[in-house]
Chains A and B, each alone.
Chain A
Amino acid sequence: MRRDLSDVVLAGTGRLVRVFVYSTLMLPVVVVAGASVTTTSSLRFPPEGFTLGWYRAAYDSEPFMDSLRTSTLLALFVTVVAMIVGGAVSFAIARHEFRGRKALEALLLSPLVIPAVVLGLGLLQLLAMAGLGRSPIGLVLGHVVTALPYVVRTLVASLALFDRTLEDAAASLRASPFRTLRKVTLPLLAPGLVSAATFAFVASFGNVTISVFLGFTGSVTLPVRIFASIENSYDPILAAVSVLVVIVTLILVVASERLAGSERR
């Protein structure tokens, strides 16, 4: 290989860009985590001193803990619904050639690019027309729609790589369709299912763009509560609450990577 000056410059620039990108990606999280342990009454980064008092305050705060419960329950429910609905339609898309298949797939992925303000306001109007006001149905529907693209994309991709001769082999060994599904199809799909469910959960758990339109007065999700609080004041308690959101997400992402990753090997 010929190496000249441009190669050296290029390699240097490449390294610089990578360092910049990786550190910028993690920057906001590091700042929030650091600021959450400051002993000062206003946010500081780097923090002054070290205290877990703001976590204690967050834990004692009724509104924040209420919202954490709401967000967790909502995300769990949304994940279950999105996995059932998305799982069924992914099987249909990956295994059947039917009219309108491509259109259906495009429509399923569309919430990824449809402006949240469009879905948010549209859903608000639908609820108003149906006389459901600000009922949680809107929130659930909005979140399921946002989670579906991730579920469908992941499952269709893993089904495309699925070797169907294994199912045929099970069937030829006189396994019943249900037994084949339970013993062959689902275990082989496990990594895809785990990733899909994780994506659905974190998409719902962290969502603020749809929730902000549909948050009903009874319960407010945690991201919306943080969003509303930031507009008023920068309290270190907000940093502590944000770190709780990060921890929930981090545990799920790393656990799912472990699960899905170890299955692959």
Chain B
Amino acid sequence: MKGESREAPPLASIAPAILVLAFGVMVPAYLLVRTSFSPGSTTEALPGWTFEQWVKFLGDPYYLYSVFETLVIAAATSLACLLLGAPVGYSIARLPPAKRRWRMILVILPLSLSLVVVVFGWLVLMGRTGLINNILVGLGLVDAPVRLLFNTPIVILVLVQQFLPYMILTVMSVCVQIDPVLEDAAASLRSNRLATIRRVILPLAFPGLAAGATLVFVLSAVAFVTPRMIGGTRVRMLGGLVYDQVLVILNWPFGAALATGLFVIVLGVLGLSNVLLATTTSRRVARHAS
């Protein structure tokens, strides 16, 4: 096997994919970063290099606050998905395969639905004449319909609903690999459920939990349809600002700077999560070895 790793790549079968990645990912990413250093404020990237866009981005509290808000919303969404999704992912993993099926469809279906449909459903539910307002008024909790949309908590709620399936599926795929015998062993040693979860399940499922939390963090940090439609102008996540710059204000160089900033955040979070996962795993291995 060792010798085989020196094998030349099977060019014929990877060439189409390389071509698609080159023109679909790498060249666009390069153009984006390049444009963020271009002067101008139209859809035309003027020649020359300048830090003008970056100074405008990083020198303005409005945009810096948007970075902060993006990170807070992503962190809150990730945490909520962890708390709600991990128990569900674990419970699906412990079901016999026959019972797993319909639950899997319940989890996968929202994932495969178009985002606009999901967001639309929430708009109808939370609107002024929506179900929630009718219930609130009916119960006499409020006198007149209240504004439920256009604030940060509701954006987080919708993002949680939208990304829960990713968390559930990630945790599930790790938990199926944990041998239930280990839990039985803990139970027979008179450990209660809480102790078993803390001492056996959580440590073993840790890579899955970390991967799921990272994925949800990244997905919510880059979201722009949900914050725009559910959050309106009050919630200013970075993705929504890019959308405005590119398609409404038509200032591509500045939009490119904001998008590059978002990209850097995503890469930073992914890198950090990899490093953390590697160190905790190696530390645990070292502890077991000693």
Contact = CB atoms under 8 A, between A and B. Distances in A.
Interface of A: 1-4, 6-7, 10-11, 14, 17-18, 20-22, 24-32, 35, 42-46, 84-86, 88-89, 91-92, 96-101, 104, 107-108, 110-111, 113-126, 128-129, 141-142, 144-145, 148, 198-199, 202-203, 205-209, 212-213, 222-223, 226-227, 230-231, 234, 238-239, 242, 245-246, 249-250, 252-254, 257, 261
19 contacts: A3-B192, A21-B84, A25-B107, A43-B127, A44-B129, A85-B17, A85-B20, A97-B7, A108-B21, A115-B239, A117-B242, A121-B32, A141-B24, A144-B24, A213-B246, A213-B247, A242-B121, A253-B109, A257-B104
Contacts of B259: 115, 117-118, 121
Contacts, number: 295
A1 B109 contact: no
Given A128-B43, A261-B101, A121 B256 contact: yes
Nearest to A25: B110
B31 interface: yes
Q: In the complex, which of the residues A21, A43, A110 has the most CB atoms of chain B within 10 Å of its own CB atom?
A: A21
Given A27-B161, A43-B127, A108-B21, A99 B222 contact: no
Q: In the complex, which of the residues A85, A107, A121, A202 has the most CB atoms of chain B within 10 Å of its own CB atom?
A: A121
Interface string B172-204: 000000000000000110111110010000000
Nearest to A14: B87
Given A28-B110, A121-B32, 13 more contacts: A4-B192, A25-B109, A84-B16, A88-B12, A115-B221, A121-B256, A126-B31, A148-B20, A198-B112, A205-B114, A213-B246, A223-B114, A226-B117
A239 B9 contact: no
Interface residues of B, number: 95
A104 B14 contact: yes
A182 B14 CA distance: 21
Nearest to B131: A45
Contacts of B123: 230, 234
Interface in B188-242: 188, 190-194, 197, 215, 218-219, 221-222, 224-225, 229, 239, 242
Contacts of A142: 24
Interface in B79-108: 83-85, 87-88, 91, 101, 103-108
Nearest to A228: B116
Contacts of B247: 212-213
A19 B25 CA distance: 40
A227 B4 CA distance: 50
Contact of B16 (A18, A88, A107, A119): A88
A117 B84 CA distance: 28
B270 interface: yes
Given A27-B121, A99-B5, A227 B116 contact: yes
A202 B112 contact: yes
B287 interface: no
